[in-house]
Amino acid sequence: MTRIESLLRKAIGLDAASIGSSMIQRTVRLRMKQLGLSKTEDYERLLQSSSTALADLIEAVVVTETWFFRDREPFTVFAQMATQWLAQHSAGTLRALSIPCSSGEEPYSLAMALLDVPLLPHRFLIDGVDISQRALERARHAVYGRNSFRGKDLSFRERHFRHTRGGYVLNPIVRQCVHFHQENLLDEGFLANSPPYDFIFCRNLLIYFDRATQVRALEKLHHLLSDDGVLFVGPAELPLVTGHGFVSAQLPMSFACRKMTTPAVTSSPPRSSSRSSVRSKSDTAQRAASPQADAPAAGLPARASTGVHRTPAPPNELEAARQLADAGRHEDAVALCEAHLRRSGPSAQAYYLLGLLSDARGDANASDYYRKALYLEPNHYETLLHMTLLLEKNGDSAGASTLRQRLKRATKQQERTVDQATRVAGGKPA
Ligand SMILES: C[S@@+](CC[C@H](N)C(=O)[O-])C[C@H]1O[C@@H](n2cnc3c(N)ncnc32)[C@H](O)[C@@H]1O
C-alpha cells in the first residue's frame, strides 16, 4: 500500500497523512473491486502502466469539498483591492486565478464579488484550474445543491441563481466570467506560458502536500503572481507560506500574502499591458489595517519607563524594519527591531515583528515574542492573528480558541478601519 501512497505523492503531491492512510486503503480496495482485481500488486502494476487507471484513482482520492464564499472575508478584501486595481489601471484587465477551483464555487464567488461591486465583466478575467476532470464538469455545468451554500448570508443566491427542481442554476453572466482548465499544479509545464495574475486564490490545497511539495507549489505560485499581486491561501496555510517567497499582507482574516523579493526566487513572467502598482494603493489599505505599524514609542505602557535615559528612535524605524523583512533581509530587520527596543524600550510592534521573523524561520522563540507583544498591547491585531495560527499549527487548539475570541473583537475594530480606507479610495463602479 505504501507504494500506492508514493505513486500518489509523486503524481499529485498528496501526503497520505493529510487524509489518512486508512482512507486511501478504502479507496484502493473499492477501485480494485470495481476493476475485478484481488491482488494489490496487480493494481500497482496497472497504476504504473496506465495513466487512465491512475487518473481514476486520483479522482477517487482527492478532496473536492468546497462552497460559495467559503470564509467570506477573503472575497470582501479581494473585491476592495480589485476595485482599487481597476481604478488605477483604467485600460487594464484584471487577471485572477483560482487554483484549485474544484467544482467552481470559489472562482464563481470571485466573479459574483466583482459583479456585486459593481464592476463590469469585460474589466476582469478569472481562470479556474483543478486536476479533477469530474469536479470541472460540475463547475462547467454550474447547477448547485444546498451543500454549496453555507453560512448565514445567502443573499447572493437570490441575485445570481435561479431555483429549479434540479438545483440552483447559476446565471450566464457569472458563468461567462470564468474559464476552466484541467491542470496539475505540480506538472513541469503548469501554466508555463500564462501571463502573471494580479490575484491568486490557492486555498485548501497546500494542506494536502508534504513540506517539499508545498515548497515546489509555492515556487510555481510565486512565478505566476505579478510582482504587485496578492496570493490568498486558506486559514491554516498562512504559516506554511510566509517565509517561502511570501509575506503576510496583514489584512484582517483574509490570509493574504504578497511577494517577498529575494534573489533566490524567480520573478513573475513579463506582461504586456501596463501594470504599475496595485501595491501603492493596497498598501494604503494595509497601513490602514495596521494602525499599530507606526505606533510611537510614547504609546507604551508605564512599565516601559525605567528611568533610564533613552535616545529617541528615528520615526518609522519599525516600518523600515517591516520593509526590510518584506525584502527578505531578515537579519537586518531583526537588528533594526533590537536596536529599536534598546533605544526606545518595550514595544508591542517591535516584538510582533521579531515574532513574525522567528515564525518565518520556524524558530521556537516566535511565541515568546508574540506573548511579549500581547502583554504590552493585549489587542494587537496582527499578533493575535499570528499567535492563533502558531498555536493551531502546534496543536494547541484550546489556546488557539481563546485567542480566536480576542481576535474576533479586534477584527471588528479592524474592519471599521478598512471600511473607512476603502470609502476614502472611492467605491464607484469602474
Ligand atoms: C478542498 S478542494 C479546495 C477548493 C477551493 N480552493 C476551496 O478552498 O474551497 C481541493 C482541490 O484540490 C484539487 N487538487 C489536488 N491536487 C491537485 C494538484 N496537484 N493540482 C491541481 N489541483 C489539485 C482537488 O481536485 C480538489 O478539487
Task: Please name the residue whose Cα sits nearest to atom 16 of ligand 1.
Answer: 12
How much is the pLDDT for 307?
35
Q: For position 269, what pLDDT does the model report?
A: 60
**Ligand 1 lined by 389 (C-beta under 6 Å):** no
pLDDT over 90 (residue 332): no
Task: Please say if the pLDDT value at position 98 is more than 90.
Answer: yes
pLDDT band at 286 (very low <50, low <70, confident <90, very high): very low
Residue 291, C-alpha cell as written in the block: 494602525
Confidence grade of residue 423 (pLDDT, cut at 50, 70, 90): low
- Grid cell in block for residue 64: 473536492
Residue nearest to atom 10 of ligand 1 (CA): 64
> Most distant CA pair in the chain: distance in Å?
82
pLDDT tens per residue, range 377-414: 888 877 887 787 788 777 787 887 788 778 767 655 65
Can you list the domains of the chain with their CATH numbers?
2-61 (no CATH), 73-278 (3.40.50.150), 290-425 (1.25.40.10)
Whole-number Å distance, alpha carbon 396 to ligand 1 midpoint, is 27
Ligand 1 mean position to 399 CA, how many Å? 30
CA 185 to ligand 1: nearest atom: 20
Weakest mean pLDDT among 1-10, 39-48, 201-210: 1-10
CB of 66 closer than 6 A to ligand 1? yes
- What average pLDDT does range 24-34 have in this prediction? 96
* Ligand 1 atom having least distance to the Cα of 99: 6
Q: Are 14 and 63 in contact (CB under 8 A)?
A: no
48 Cβ contact partners less than 8 Å away, ≥ 6 residues apart: 7
Does 92 score more than 50 pLDDT? yes
pTM over 0.85: no
Residue 268 confidence (pLDDT): 56
Poorest-confidence range of 15-24, 34-43, 147-156, 412-421?
412-421
Ligand 1 atom with the shortest distance to the CA of 105:
9
The answer to whether residues 161 and 144 touch, using CB atoms and an 8 Å cutoff, is: yes
